Structure 1
Amino acid sequence: MKRTFAAVAAISSAALILGGCSSNDTAEEETFKPKSGTQQYDSVQGIADDLTAAGMPCENFTINESTRYATQSATCEIAGTETVLSVFTSDTDQADNIKVFSTLMEPKKIEYGLVAGSKWMINCGDTTINDNCKNIKAQLGGRLINPTYI
């Protein structure tokens, strides 16, 4: 009887140890799940973190001076392209920023691309020379804004 009890105790201990190991396997870093664009960010660092988690590292990340419309802005390089991340207090500030941007770029026929979500935006560069904007939109959601003359 004592041997049976000892054997059961040993098996139970082994099961607990193995169970502990298997639960650590599930605690591994989760795979990034694409977002809808409705997520909001408290800071541009949150956008950069999501980009990195999605496999698009935001290299040489630098916070910029605050702008007229954005509460926070930063620049970084994604796949070798300078990219600007912005967070806004309101949808109105974001819409005003998009309007100013397009008003400055479109008359000069300058290519650009913006991915805009809920109070955040990424100026991801010329959509005719790389897929950065398309790739960012696929991972963070939002809407892609291109020049209207294309």
Structure 2
Amino acid sequence: MTKRSAGLLMFRRREQGIEVFLVHPGGPFWAKKDLGAWSIPKGEIAENEDGMEAAKREFAEETGMQPEGIFFALGEVRQAGGKVVTAWAMEGDFDPSTLVANTCAIEWPPRSGQKMKVPEVDRGEWFLLETAREKILKGQGVLLDMLLRIVN
């Protein structure tokens, strides 16, 4: 069965152009990864949960901010591992220094049987679209193009 996630791509308009807010996954596996590691705030859609509600919930869980405003459907993308991400865009602002993320338990090192608690995301940052294309997970890059169709 295909795993499904939902997320929000927050954007803001600046003199230099459109900026998007991305988050970096927490934990030791991602600690030294940067290019191609960032993501929109997103997470799994619970059984019988509305995708938009899941996207809002996940955004709040990964940033500490309750998303509000007008949401624009971007569509779906399939990531390399097969997960399908349904995304919406919203114009807004957020101070990354106030980010507070939920934690989750992971097995580390892999197949060791040892569990450790890590933040779902360890930081967030605003990026101009050109830089965001380098930072975002390859499978989510098309979301930036979908966003441009809406904001232009």
Common fold by TM > 0.5: no
The TM-score normalised by the length of structure 1 is 0.27
The TM-score normalised by the length of structure 2 is 0.27
More helix by share: 1
More strand by share: 2
Identify which of structures 1 and 2 has the higher relative contact order when contacts are C-alpha pairs closer than 8 Å and 6+ apart: 2
